[in-house]
Amino acid sequence: MTQQQENLTAKKQRICQRLSALGQAHICAYLEQLSEAEQDAMLRQIDTLDLSILDPECADEQRGVFTPLYATTLEEIDRNRSRFTEAGLAAIRAGKVGAVLLGGGQGTRLGCEHAKGMVDIGITRELFIFECLMNNLRRVTEQAGAYIPLFIMTSVENHDETEAFFAEKNYFGYSKEHIRFFRQEQLPTVDPEGRLMLSAPGIISTAPNGNGGWYASMENTGLLHELRQSSIEWLNVFAVDNVLQSIADPCFIGAVIESGHVSGAKVVAKADPDEKVGVLCLEDGRPSIVEYYEMTEEMRTLREPDGNLSYRFGVILNYLFRVDQLEETLNCKMPLHKVFKKIRYMDESGNTVRPEAPNAYKFETLALDLVKLQKNCLAYEVEREKEFAPIKNKTGVDSVDTARELLRRNGIML
Ligand code: UTP
């Protein structure tokens, strides 16, 4: 046996021991069908994967005691609008504000082949989701007379096409120097029995690790080093798929800064008690988000003396974080959520399967869990019709059709 073969055998033994202990012996059996070179490549990939997620100990966290959290309401904001806005604009002009676009999702419900931001939702003209966001951001930079550094998180799969798309569209009129792209990490996916899957011959299937790890991914890609040397003190984090997303909103930023809170979340009043939206609340006294399926009947229907729902304010994935507080979260382990999705895989005959319905689990950290690591969070109410037009599904609720209708109502030509 050559030295190389000995090394390969030792590596295979080490990795297969670990895989077998985690109930993944089928991968070891599969390895045996491969040539030495293919085995070597596959073992190298496995060595880069975080297999600890397969450990049953690493399950969803236990929740604490929830209590309502009150928001700065539309009326309060209206009364203070000019003061908040001036404070926000001053922060932007001083270079204290950056924005982070979370664009690493797979958009499996919408079923897009490319990055979701590349979807054209125009009717009589081209209007890309990214374009809607960049138009919204440009409105603020024009008002402030200063650029806001924009960090765009991508996935391994859509990184190159996202960068190329922005370049092809001339950065939608934004300053190229103020845009940085960074990749998020991947985690293995598993079938309903918890078994690792293959995405192609000799390759374990992986998927982006959720939207909660964006700050850690900025660290891993070296961007935090740059951020620390910059004047940025606040980061506005937002989802790619809300085409009415108000980015680096000066009034929101000013309100959070004036309040002395270390974070803020844009929220909308729930349309009815059963609306399927995560609600900003307190959990064991800390800001947190309770998912609609975690709410008891009592929580869903509890009302304040004025008749409003106590758990009333739904989050829209638009948060403001103070950078020095985010630094402290880098050492915290964020909970991993198992999400059942449509995941492309290779079957036993070597055919690629593109499932029509959810078939496997991916593991995600969630941005909302980052809120829980903050000392406090200002809930800031916004008008749903003006700021919330998410595109999640092909048809029906939160689809291109509903988003178009909301864009129209806001005077945007399609
Ligand atoms: P969603 O939770 O809607 O997930 O993302 P998704 O992957 O885009 O879509 P589905 O569930 O497969 O249909 C909310 C936001 O978080 C980003 C998305 O790009 C979107 O802006 N996200 C999600 C990431 O950046 N990375 C992820 O791993 C997941």
> For residue range 208-227, what is the model confidence (pLDDT) as tens digits?
999 998 999 999 999 999 99
The string of DSSP codes covering 186-213 is EEE-B-TTS-B-EEETTEE-EEE--STT
Q: Between the CA of residue 242 and those of 17, 132, 238, 321, 403, what are the distances in Å? A: 45, 9, 9, 19, 8
Mean residue pLDDT across the chain:
94
* 365 domain residue, yes or no: yes
Q: Are residues 21 and 147 in the same domain?
A: no
3-state SS track over 55-110? CCCCCCCCCCCEEECCEECHHHHHHHHHHHHHHHHHHHHCCCEEEEEECCCCCCCC
The residue whose CB lies within 8 Å of the most ligand 1 atoms, and thus the one to mutate among 106, 218, 318, 363, is 106
* pLDDT for 191 beyond 90: yes
Q: Which domain holds residue 33?
A: 1-48
> How does residue 69 score in pLDDT terms, banded at 50, 70 and 90?
very high
Q: How many C-beta atoms lie closer than 10 Å to residue 189's C-beta?
A: 23
What's the gap in Å between 258 CA and the centre of ligand 1?
A: 31
* 59 domain residue, yes or no: no
Burial of 3 (0-12, 13-18, 19+ CB in 10 A): exposed
* pLDDT for 109 beyond 80: yes
Q: Can you give the pLDDT at residue 272?
A: 86
Q: What is the mean pLDDT of residues 150-179?
A: 98
Which residue's alpha carbon is at the smallest distance from atom 1 of ligand 1?
A: 105
> How does residue 118 score in pLDDT terms, banded at 50, 70 and 90?
very high
What's the gap in Å between 302 CA and the centre of ligand 1?
A: 31
Q: Are residues 86 and 41 in the same domain?
A: no
Our answer on whether the CB atom of 219 is closer than 6 Å to any ligand 1 atom is: no
What's the gap in Å between 18 CA and the centre of ligand 1?
A: 31
* pLDDT for 33 beyond 90: yes
Q: What is the mean pLDDT of residues 102-122?
A: 95
In three-state secondary structure terms, 344 is: coil
The residue whose CB lies within 8 Å of the most ligand 1 atoms, and thus the one to mutate among 236, 240, 277, is 240
The residue whose CB lies within 8 Å of the most ligand 1 atoms, and thus the one to mutate among 53, 100, 101, 102, is 102
Q: Are residues 227 and 376 in the same domain?
A: yes
Q: Are residues 44 and 93 in the same domain?
A: no
* pLDDT for 60 beyond 70: no
Q: Are residues 23 and 80 in the same domain?
A: no
Rounded to 5 degrees, what are φ and ψ at 283? Answer: -125, 120
Q: Can you give the pLDDT at residue 298?
A: 92
* Range with the poorest average pLDDT among 48-57, 174-183, 391-400: 48-57
* pLDDT for 56 beyond 80: no
* 57 domain residue, yes or no: no
Q: What is the mean pLDDT of residues 168-195?
A: 97
Q: Are residues 275 and 358 in the same domain?
A: yes
- State the total domains in the chain: 2
* 391 domain residue, yes or no: yes
* Range with the poorest average pLDDT among 179-193, 230-244, 290-304, 373-387: 290-304
Q: Find tokens 């009589």 and name the residue.
A: 124
Amino acid in position 236: N
Q: Are residues 226 and 334 in the same domain?
A: yes
Which residue's alpha carbon is at the smallest distance from atom 2 of ligand 1?
A: 105
Q: Can you give the pLDDT at residue 3?
A: 87
How far apart, in whole angstroms, are the C-alpha atoms of residue 95 and residue 93? 5
Q: Which atom of ligand 1 is nearest to the CA of 109?
A: 13
Q: Are residues 43 and 119 in the same domain?
A: no
* 61 domain residue, yes or no: no
Q: Are residues 1 and 35 in the same domain?
A: yes
Our answer on whether the CB atom of 337 is closer than 6 Å to any ligand 1 atom is: no
Which residue's alpha carbon is at the smallest distance from atom 20 of ligand 1?
A: 239
Q: Can you give the pLDDT at residue 253?
A: 98
What's the gap in Å between 275 CA and the centre of ligand 1?
A: 20
* pLDDT for 112 beyond 90: no
Q: Which atom of ligand 1 is nearest to the CA of 367?
A: 16
Our answer on whether the CB atom of 190 is closer than 6 Å to any ligand 1 atom is: no
* 401 domain residue, yes or no: yes
R_g (Cα) of the chain, nearest Å: 23
How far apart, in whole angstroms, are the C-alpha atoms of residue 163 and residue 157? 12
Q: Which atom of ligand 1 is nearest to the CA of 101?
A: 21
Q: Can you give the pLDDT at residue 331?
A: 84
Q: Are residues 243 and 141 in the same domain?
A: yes
Our answer on whether the CB atom of 117 is closer than 6 Å to any ligand 1 atom is: no
Which residue's alpha carbon is at the smallest distance from atom 5 of ligand 1?
A: 105
Which residue's alpha carbon is at the smallest distance from atom 15 of ligand 1?
A: 239
* pLDDT for 57 beyond 70: no
Q: Can you give the pLDDT at residue 59?
A: 59
Q: Can you give the pLDDT at residue 294?
A: 86
* 198 domain residue, yes or no: yes
Our answer on whether the CB atom of 264 is closer than 6 Å to any ligand 1 atom is: no
Our answer on whether the CB atom of 183 is closer than 6 Å to any ligand 1 atom is: no
pTM for the whole thing?
A: 0.95
* Range with the poorest average pLDDT among 16-25, 100-109, 252-261, 330-339: 330-339
| pLDDT higher at 7 or 116 | 116
Q: Are residues 40 and 166 in the same domain?
A: no
* 25 domain residue, yes or no: yes
* pLDDT for 354 beyond 70: yes
pLDDT digits (tens, 9 = 90+) for 282-320: 999 999 999 888 899 999 999 999 999 999 999 999 999
CATH number at residue 118: 3.90.550.10
Q: Can you give the pLDDT at residue 58?
A: 59
Q: Are residues 42 and 149 in the same domain?
A: no
Our answer on whether the CB atom of 312 is closer than 6 Å to any ligand 1 atom is: no
How far apart, in whole angstroms, are the C-alpha atoms of residue 132 and residue 391? 12
Our answer on whether the CB atom of 108 is closer than 6 Å to any ligand 1 atom is: yes
* pLDDT for 337 beyond 70: yes
